[in-house]
Structure 1
């Protein structure tokens, strides 16, 4: 049986807030939100342990729908639609049009795979195509609940980046699980994204390296055209144990460009950047860019309040010659990332927001200074500190949490994820050209931190 035929959609319905939310109400999108007004849902999946029988599963679906409607009362933005104002700038109309809830069944069992991180049907655990055709009508959140034959449950959710980042999406899932258990929400959401607005007038005090700007566009709500992907891509999630991550950190610290107390992110990011660049065998003078999010929430002044719904991260784009990454010790790439993080202080981030304000007011199209599709750059994302394993709907913490990779995300993705083991252990989900993935799985530096079970074929996208 084909893997793509193993998940069957039983129903697709719209869930609206359990009670009307205040209207009219509009939600301001900050400049950090607007740069993510792209055409893609970001899909994640939670896997929960097998339980109960068919009747229990029916009761679960009804209960999840009820609690979802209740939690949307606290999150009216997610039940709204993104629209363009008279000035062409996007905002969210909190109109209670709701989100999608999909009920599905999988002709599969959790124990068919040695590890859920290698689940081959994962792309079908979120509703269909990840593209957003029309923001004005598209829901900002899609949920899919899939029941497996073993009684296991997968809850997939695809979120639009225009008003939510990974952190606030995780907070929403945690809040939903708390409401489902009849508990009070731990962190009440706040929506004052004006806290991240530009200065008046905008004042760019530092050179900004992370964006490219093109000529004026006629319609600000028009979404970016999705590029066609000619290269066959492959995806794989690798497991790095606590001891492996500790060894990696020690390797960075003791290297020729070593520094005091490297973080696990810096070590893993450097490893992915170096090993993926070597696997691609890029010419030494080719520029390779590592892009990764930098937390704005904690660096802003004043710091943003807990529970802020929106994009609280700036995507830094760090470009250097491939030869410098390939031929230097791991500590070289790690030190570049450490220095870049430290230079992204409050004034730099304010300059970022102010520059975006100027360019948005000029009506220019804004893109990241990184090519996600050329096969030269690495797009990194770090979920390691996210409270994904605190999401509990009453049948225990997740067995596994994943970020589902899709060809439209680009050629060269490396997502760092926490594991159920906790501590410094990490998953890293990678997608890149199939031929280069094979080389990555044989890269001596990369595999020196892996167990034998992780050196196997990747899933084709």
Structure 2
């Protein structure tokens, strides 16, 4: 079933919500090199809550909680400017997050039953920063009320603010305020302009692709039309996959790397003559948070199979071991490349190579309302380059859907002309069931 996109979501209203406490004048935040490397990317997350959870949850109550919630997150409520050198910075002027209210003609369960992933764009803003920096909010929140009384909360998060761990902690803390569980006292301290370091090597890192200047419209241009597809993998499917790769051995590579190895080989099969020999793997780094509650600290690994390697013919255990053990963290090189140009050059990272994003250590279901976790959470990215990106994160434990099966959820953002053949490969290898 396909949703009628022109009318299914209606009565859209816009406003802004900022911190209840004034930040003051002349407060500025300077994103670091890793932040600026991610400025053309956007994280989009949609949380779904049943009607009994959303009951009595008025827009006024939601906004009231946001005034308190955004006090320590005042940086997210600012607007971008450029310094005389052209480097972007945030003026912390309390302009606020954009708040969107909408209604949906479908019930929550009717919506979730469609599996029509492009329609999820209707539940979260896809506005990007620019072309007028001073009017572009880096955070947009959309509350959509379904016909049954259930709601969705869509978070649009400019990646220049921080990585998925930052975004997850950001939205989860709103739930704590809504539930009257208090609020973290720690406030993110705005960063000054970085002090120039020793010049790094002139060669750009493999994990970040330099592009022609985009000016003040922060979105990369694709050479190919991209498509998005998502699917659920049950624990039984994952166990079968692990057995395929490792047999009865107890010494198995973690499931994320095993799954990505299979997807890597499937993608290679649909790209004859141009199979990806080098991929990028993103993982959260919770140990490197410093004093920030937002910021891009995720590990960015370059994983090379070697120019002589044929991915299609390589044993899956070898690919999985490469992903688990042979990655080179390129954060330092990426930061040096950005700072070498004083933060004014434009790069993109997701989709510069085939990219795997590990969200399994993110508290995906940590946003709770009235003690209830979301029925379902949907993650995707905007601004992915032509090589594509794969997101992997947990399926809700003990979900009433699929008879309580746990497992993983996968979102794939790849060139549209590859998607049909890739689905066939996924089915042949047991990752995709008939009907998905």
Instruction: Please classify the TM superposition score into its range, dividing by the shorter chain length.
Output: 0.7 to 0.9
1:394 maps to 2:370: yes
Distance 2:313 2:103 in 1: 49
Offset of residue 244 of structure 1:
2.5
CA contact (8 A) 2:45 2:377 kept: yes
Find the counterpart in structure 1 of residue 233 from structure 2. 240
CA contact (8 A) 1:431 1:437 kept: no
Is residue 18–residue 72 contact of structure 1 (8 Å, CA) maintained in 2? yes
* In 2, Cα distance between equivalents of 1:146 and 1:243: 34
2:359 alignment partner in structure 1: 383
Q: Residues 386 and 371 from structure 1, CA distance in 2 versus in 1: closer, same or farther, beyond 3 angstroms?
A: closer
- In structure 1, what is the Cα distance between the partners aligned to 2:168 and 2:23? 22
Q: Per-residue CA shift, 1:403-451, capped at 9, x if unaligned? A: 1455866563311121112797210012334453222222267642444
Segments of 5+ residues of structure 1 without an aligned counterpart are 457-461
Cα 1:277/1:2, change in 2 over 3 Å: same
Equivalences for residues 116-131 of structure 1 within 5 A: 118=116, 121-130=119-128
Question: Any gaps of 5 or more consecutive residues in structure 2?
Answer: 399-404
Give 1:13's match in structure 2, choosing from 12, 15, 35: 15
RMSD over aligned Cα, in angstroms? 3.5
Output the TM-score relative to the length of structure 1.
0.80
Shift of 1:170: 0.8
Aligned residue for 2:342, secondary structure, equals helix
1:33 to 14, 32, 35: 35
Select 2:198's aligned residue among 196, 201, 223.
201
Distance in 1 between residues matched to 2:134 and 2:346, nearest whole Å = 19
Equivalence map 1:200-349=2 (5 Å): 200-202=197-199, 208-213=205-210, 222-223=216-217, 226-227=220-221, 231=225, 233-253=226-246, 260-278=251-269, 280-283=270-273, 286-298=275-287, 303-305=288-290, 308-318=293-303, 320=305, 324-341=310-327, 343-344=328-329, 349=331
Residues 165-218 of structure 1 show CA distances to partners (whole Å, capped at 9, x for unaligned) of 211111011111111111212584534657x96783356699943234478x6x
Q: Look up the match of 1:44.
A: 45
Residues matched between the structures, number: 427
**Conservation of the 8 A alpha-carbon contact between 2:53 and 2:370:** no
CA contact (8 A) 1:43 1:157 kept: yes
Change (3 A) 1:272 1:75: same
d(CA) in 2 for partners of 1:34 and 1:118?
33
Measured in 1, the distance between the counterparts of 2:99 and 2:11 equals: 11
> Corresponding residue for 1:360?
342
User: What TM-score, normalized by structure 2, do the two folds share?
Assistant: 0.84
Alpha-carbon distance, 1:130 to partner: 4.7
